Structure 1
Amino acid sequence: MAQYFEVHPENPQPRLLKQAATLLQGGGIAAVPTDSSYALVCHLDDRDAVDRLRRIREVDDKHHLTLLCRDLSELASHAHVDNRQYRLLRLGTPGPYTFILEATKQVPRRVSHPARKTIGLRVPGHRSLQLLLELHGAPLLATTLIPAGASEPLNDPQDIRARYQKLLDAIVDAGACPLEPTTVLDLTPMGAGAGVGPTLLRAGRGSLQALGL
């Protein structure tokens, strides 16, 4: 049964988020708010937690999972980033964008794409999630909370509680999030002097104009 943490959307209580971080460090799965919609998160290095995350979300290992990072320096330590890619990342972080990049050796192979060795990376701007990442002390592995068979993510924590309280270990309620997922951009074609721009994989809340695209 999920523990329910109701936090202030602008000034989240560290004591409550520390409890949620402890559950994640112990292998738990949590539903957390982001600046685009709610997401499921777990500890990056916990194999069993990653397997549970995929089962709850009903996706296989070819579905790109995302690393939620506190800042660009943390992101860059988990992905190979060249100068062109970095300039684009600076424009989109923090914010509602997910960038597909080549994973470094710090990312366990079981969580990167099995064929491409890529991973989604994101620096969220949501205050509660930023504090949770700080308290956790490392990136969190995440996937947008879209129920199986649905096309839109969940943004109401009470709805999440009703549907998933028996499957999750924690739910962080910071109020409703925007009902729109991140914009997903594959930046791998930009590398190695390929001379091509990023590929839009999903249009979402993040504006392409803000990135100069």
Structure 2
Amino acid sequence: MAEFIRIYNENPNPKEIAKVIKVLQAGGLVIYPTDTVYGLGCDITKPKALEKIAQIKGIKLEKANWSFICNDLSHLSDYVKQIDSATFKILKRALPGPYTFILPGSKNLPKVFKKKKTVGIRIPDNSIIRTLVQELGNPLVSTSIRDDDDVLEYTTDPELIFEKWQNLVDVVIDGGYGGNEASTVIDLTEEPEVIREGKGSLDIL
């Protein structure tokens, strides 16, 4: 059964963060808050954990279009081919924020994603998840947890999330109520193209 850990966004407790890091390093799955909806993720360097998420989502791992959560833009060059200055300016304007940017993937992508030509990059405006990524030392792979309810697409109450997911994951972080609007997805591999309009404003383009 998962552990339910309360962490405050304004000032994430290092002790609680360390607990979650331990779980991630051991290949565990974690549900955490972002600046949009709650997400499910794991350390991108743990293939077994990635497999588990694919199973939960009912998809083949190589077909998964998950985003990578980074702490800041410094991780970009690890996973993304060199980008031009216009693209970089958009990223700098928008991040941290409620956006997922699709960028050309580099040769350094983890083995399971090697065949992917693109990668979704996310830097949420949320201290809890960014502190986790910073302390972990590499990105998390992330997918939003959708609800079975057609009206309420995303569950916002961490206690209800825990109730539903406690036997599928290792930790559920209670970071307060989440949002119910997903991130705006923008493809920057060529001319900027909005794939999904979500929480982020399009003024950044």
Give your verdict on TM over 0.5.
yes
Q: 1:153 to 1:111 in 2, by over 3 A?
A: farther
2:118 maps to what in 1?
118
Q: Deviations over 1:126-149 (max 9, x none)?
A: 011111112211111111111467
**Deviation of residue 52 (structure 1)?**
0.7
CA distance in 1 between counterparts of 2:153 and 2:13 reads: 29
Q: 2:114 aligned with 1:127, yes or no?
A: no
CA distance in 1 between counterparts of 2:172 and 2:87 reads: 34
Structure-to-structure mapping, 1:133-148, within 5 angstroms: 133-147=133-147
Amino acid in structure 2 at the alignment position of 1:138? N
Q: 2:28 aligned with 1:28, yes or no?
A: yes
Residue 57 of structure 1 contacts residue 146 of structure 1 at CA under 8 Å; is this kept in 2?
A: no
2:170 maps to what in 1?
169
1:103 maps to what in 2?
105
1:205 maps to what in 2?
199
Q: What is the DSSP-based 3-state SS (H/G/I as helix, E as strand, rest coil) of the residue aligned with 1:167?
A: coil
Structure-to-structure mapping, 1:1-213, within 5 angstroms: 1-60=1-60, 61-80=62-81, 81-111=83-113, 114=115, 116-147=116-147, 152-189=153-190, 197-209=191-203, 211-212=204-205
Amino acid in structure 2 at the alignment position of 1:54? A
Residue 99 of structure 1 contacts residue 185 of structure 1 at CA under 8 Å; is this kept in 2?
A: yes
**Deviation of residue 109 (structure 1)?**
4.3
Please list every run of 5 or more consecutive structure 1 residues that lacks an aligned counterpart in the other structure.
Answer: 190-196
Q: What is the DSSP-based 3-state SS (H/G/I as helix, E as strand, rest coil) of the residue aligned with 1:77?
A: helix
CA distance in 1 between counterparts of 2:185 and 2:79 reads: 18
Q: 1:101 to 1:109 in 2, by over 3 A?
A: farther
Which 4+ stretches in 1 moved above 4 angstroms? 148-151
Amino acid in structure 2 at the alignment position of 1:85? T
Q: What is the DSSP-based 3-state SS (H/G/I as helix, E as strand, rest coil) of the residue aligned with 2:199?
A: coil
**Deviation of residue 199 (structure 1)?**
1.4
**Deviation of residue 25 (structure 1)?**
0.8
Amino acid in structure 2 at the alignment position of 1:17? I
Residue 75 of structure 1 contacts residue 122 of structure 1 at CA under 8 Å; is this kept in 2?
A: no
Q: Deviations over 1:181-200 (max 9, x none)?
A: 100011112xxxxxxx2111
CA distance in 2 between counterparts of 1:147 and 1:110 reads: 27
What's the Cα RMSD here?
1.7
The range that moved more, 141-150 or 32-41, is 141-150
Please list every run of 5 or more consecutive structure 2 residues that lacks an aligned counterpart in the other structure.
Answer: none
Amino acid in structure 2 at the alignment position of 1:82? D
Amino acid in structure 2 at the alignment position of 1:55? Q
Aligned-residue identity in percent: 33
Which TM-score applies when normalising by structure 2? 0.92
CA distance in 2 between counterparts of 1:175 and 1:149 reads: 21
Which TM-score applies when normalising by structure 1? 0.88
How many equivalent residue pairs? 202
